[in-house]
Structure 1
Amino acid sequence: MASSSKVIRDTAAAGARGLRAFSMRDIEDERRRIIAAAEKDADEVRKLAREILDQAKTALARIRQQADGVMADSEKRGYEKGYAEGVAKGIEQGRREAYEAERRRVAEETAEVAKRLADIAAAIEAEHGMHTARAHIDMIEFALTLAQKIVKREVGIGHDVIKENLRKAIDLVAEKSEINVRLNPSELDIIEEYVPQLKNVFAKLKSIKLVPDMDVSPGGCIVQTKGGEVDARIETQLEEIERQLLEMSTRRNGHL
């Protein structure tokens, strides 16, 4: 039979009793809270952007209105200038010079407003992207920190974590008659006393060999059989939590 490896995934979904270390409920609640806060910040940024854009549009309209008035006034002044000089050519020249000067001034002011609008839009877009990305990073970091703290607390106050992990790992292996269990040496005595209960739960379980392994942290274990193994180490399950969070984050980003 080909060797295979399994990882204990969401133990809450699998019906864990007393093993709160890997429940996704608290993590999901916090994920929603962080994202809601980020969306609120983004709404405020968008509101500010709309206000700035409205102000800019109003200013631009005012500039154009003033330009129209100034150009009309300039045309009048050019006419008067040419008339006063008594030179017919001066009338047309005065008009052209006044109009061209005002056109350049309005073009410069319009270009400046347009540049400011572009800068504002770019800044708003960057700020929104930063808020969104930071929210997802914060969510993942918080969830992993929360899971690690819960694990340490649960492992420190009792032996339910290692017992529950071992029971679920055995439940996942196909061939249950003979198994090797790699676990932290500090929990060897605990599991030796727990073996009779395991044999009562799993009728096909005939032989359990406990193998002390310093590479396995307290609370976790690796169950090995001829057909493969189940990795129920704490670190592996935290990695699984991280994978699920990243998937949720990726799906959410795809709908933003």
Structure 2
Amino acid sequence: MRSSSNLLKIDSGSAGRTEVRSALATGAFPAIYRRTGGDSVDDSLVRARRMLDEARQDAERIVRDAREEAGRLLREARDEAEAIRSEAFRSGYDDGLSKAASDLSSEIEGLVNALRSARDAILAQKRDMMKAAEQELIELALEIASRIIRREIARDSSCVIEVIEDALRHTSGEGMITVRVAETDLERARGALPAFQKLLDGAHDLKILPDPRVEPGGCIVETQFGTVDARPARQFEQIRRSLGDVGGDAGNTPAG
């Protein structure tokens, strides 16, 4: 018997990538996802990805502007240093040149330290922005997908049959299997009992019961080896937890 978490095959990919679509298509909702053609979910994820790309571009612009400003300040410091040297030579005072060189060295050192601190602060801000943007993308994509899945369930109550079949495919062994469904899905689910038994090759005793914990379109499958929780709310929560750390590395781009 596989645990319910094994229903979710999630590929987070490289840093910053969020494969919500993959989780939906291969997780607890493959049948419902196929019913929608995936188009509505895909379009929504494209829009969400565009938002994240815009956030990345803003972060890159901040870093680029900071580098340009640092370069400008350094050029000004060098120009000022050259002016001090020229003035000292024109005055002909060795002590003036020595003092100018000392002052210049201290000034440049302070400027370099300030620029390094500014760069570190900007890069930290960029990482925070990217992490926040990635997490917002996850939440937005899941919210959109949740609405689409629930709308499809409400539109066609036969979805529960395919959800039950998907859950039963994750069972193994023999013995009693109890399928718990929403009261509104009970009659339809019991009507499909022969199809469920055929799916299991008759290796199980199967009963279907109403359960107030189960929302329409979902089910809980219980066996002696464990439980498959295919309630939509539960599955979306598992996807959310599984993807929750994806944004953690999103802003970890090397300093340039």
Please say whether Structure 1 and Structure 2 have the same fold, judged by a TM-score greater than 0.5: yes
1:193 deviates by: 2.6
Alignment of 1:186-225 (within 5 A): 186-204=184-202, 207-225=205-223
Q: For 1:148-189, what per-residue CA distance to the aligned partner results, in whole angstroms no more than 9, with x for missing partners?
A: 222321222221432221111122212466421112223222
Alignment of 1:145-164 (within 5 A): 145-164=143-162
After superposition, the Cα gap between the structure-2 partners of 1:255 and 1:172, relative to the gap in structure 1 and judged at 3 Å, is farther
CA gap 1:175/1:163 in 2 versus in 1, 3 angstroms: same
Q: What is aligned with 1:127?
A: 125
Which of 69, 86, 91 is the equivalent residue of 1:52? Answer: 69
Kindly indicate whether residue 59 of structure 2 is the aligned counterpart of residue 61 of structure 1.
no
Give the length in aligned residue pairs.
235
Q: Secondary structure at the match of 2:178?
A: strand
Change (3 A) 1:249 1:123: closer
Verify the 8 A CA contact 2:197 2:206 in the aligned structure 1. Answer: no
Give me the whole-angstrom Cα distance separating, in 1, the residues matched to 2:118 and 2:142: 36
- Alpha-carbon distance between aligned partners in 2 of 1:115 and 1:215, rounded to the nearest angstrom: 60
For 1:11 and 1:144, locate their aligned partners in 2 and report how far apart those are by CA, in whole Å: 9
Quote the Cα distance in structure 2 between the aligned partners of 1:253 and 1:161. Answer: 40
Structure 2 unaligned regions, length at least 5? 9-22
TM-score (norm 1): 0.73
Look up the SS of the partner of 1:215 in the other structure.
Answer: coil
Are the counterparts in 1 of residues 85 and 100 from structure 2 also a CA contact under 8 Å? no
Structure 2 letter corresponding to 1:47: R
Which amino acid is the alignment partner of residue 44 of structure 1?
Answer: R
Residues 221 and 18 of structure 1: is their aligned pair in 2 closer, same or farther, counting only changes over 3 Å? Answer: closer
- Structure with greater Cα Rg: 1
Which residue does the alignment assign to 1:90?
none
For residue 130 of structure 1, what is the amino acid of its counterpart?
Answer: D
Shift of 1:248: 4.7
Q: Deviations over 1:58-92 (max 9, x none)?
A: 1011011011012223435xxxxxxxxxxxxxxxx
Gaps of 5+ in 1: 77-94
Distance 1:142 1:60 in 2: 47
User: How big is each residue's C-alpha offset from its partner over 1:183-213, in whole Å with a ceiling of 9 and x where there is no partner?
Assistant: 2223222322332443454441664322222
TM-score (norm. length: structure 2) = 0.73
| Residues in 1 aligned to 2:136 and 2:225: alpha-carbon distance in whole angstroms | 40
For residues 253 and 159 of structure 2, the distance between their equivalents in structure 1, rounded to whole angstroms, comes to 37
**1:13 corresponds to 2:29:** no
